[in-house]
Each structure stands twice: as structure tokens, then as C-alpha cells.
Amino acid sequence: MLLIPAIDLRGGNCVRLEQGDFERDTRYSADPLEVARRFEQSGATWLHLVDLDGAREGEPRHLRTLEQIAGATALKVEFGGGLRTFASVERALAAGAARIVLGTAALESEDLLARVIERFPSSIAVGIDARNGLASIRGWVETSTRRAIDVAVDVVSAGVRRIIYTDIATDGMLSGPNVDGLQQIIAAVPVAVVASGGIATEAHLEAAAAAGAEAAIVGRALYTGALALSALQRWR
């Protein structure tokens, strides 16, 4: 299983939220490029880059940071946050994203999802962020009425090849992943599933791997030292 470090961008800074709450954020660095370079030097090959401002506003706000990181490192960057039009997807890919993560758009626009899958089939992942089993949208501010597992089945039927599953209740809490929820998603769809939320120890990584996750995204634990940066070399 691959370990993917995360950088969440808000106001140009690297931050982490607790349970997706914008009122409970912690700033870890004002230099995202320096953080990305540190991850790369520690053994990372991929970077999960989230535009939190874009997710709330519906339009990406940190494409310049994406461009800087993609241009100054060898990291393959998956980028999400505010990508709700075909044009914004194209801009993110042009800025250097190796993979695009669609969230709200995948739930609300079947036409957009079909169009981006047809044009960029190997470069699209859908992020399913679950709160109490229901998919959340608009930067986790709103909870939809659709079950996360149903969304997973639907987007895979539409041609999506990779799902990033985040359990909001565990995200940023360092308490371990929601293994049951992860296993349910993995059992429901025949595509790669990436685990996100709550992973903070080697045991958590092993649990995600045992559940069948292709990769695990880790943020806060790498910033606080709960999980050593050397884990990026071991899980690759």
C-alpha cells in the first residue's frame, strides 16, 4: 500500500481541519512548497493537495501553488477542491496535476462527470467524504441525502476508476480509520479505493492495507510527528 502525504491549503497556508470543521483548523506552515519538498526528500512519490478555499467557494483558488509544487518537485500531485466545471479541471491539469479529485461535482453533475471521464479517463478520482454514512459536499459544509456507498457504486458505473474515501468523523483526529466503512466501500466496487481520515500510526496503516486500500492519505500525523516521515519510505 502506498502512503500519500497531504497538504490542505487555506489562505496560502498548510493547515489541517478537525472533522472537516473550518472553525477548528491548525496552521502548520506558510510555505507549501517547502513542505512538499520535505515530503519528497523523505520518500514520497505522490502528494494529495486540497484547495480548501476552492472547495468552499466552488472555484479553485490555489492553482499557482499547484503549479509551483508540480514544477519544483518530482511529486505526482492529485489535486482537489472547487473543481466543478470542465474548464477548472482543464486548468488544474494544465497547472501540473497528475490526477484530479472530484467531489461535489461528481454528486451533482452527471454530465460533467461523464465528460471528464471521457476526456481524461485515467486522471480522474472521485472523493467520497462520508458523515454518518452519508456523502458530504461543498467542502464538507453540507451533507447530502445519498449514502456514500450508493455514490461509490454510481460513479464507478459511470466509469470512475479510483475512489478516495474519507470518514469525516475521524479526519484530523488521529484516532484511526473507519475500517468498517472502508471495507464496505471496497467490497461494493471493483476499483482502487484510497483510505483517508484518522490514520496516525503504523498499526492504522496496516489496518487500511489489510482492508484492501490501494493507498492511504495522511496529513496531521506527519505534521505532528505522530507518524514519522520515514514511513513515507517504508510505504511506497
Assign 3-class secondary structure to 110-151: HHHHHHHHHHCCCCEEEEEEEECCEEEECCCCEEEEEEHHHH
How far apart, in Å, are the Cα atoms of 76 and each of 36, 71, 96, 97? 11, 10, 9, 7
Does residue 129 carry a catalytic annotation?
A: yes
State the amino acid at position 86 in one-letter form.
F
Name the active-site residue from 8, 51, 53, 167.
8
* 3-class DSSP state of 176: coil
Task: Name the DSSP letter for residue 55.
Answer: H
Name the active-site residue from 51, 129, 167, 171.
129
User: Minimal CA–CA distance to 163: which of 113, 236, 206?
Assistant: 113
Task: Name the DSSP letter for residue 42.
Answer: T
Residue 78 β-bridge partners: 48, 99
Q: Which residues are catalytic?
A: 8, 129
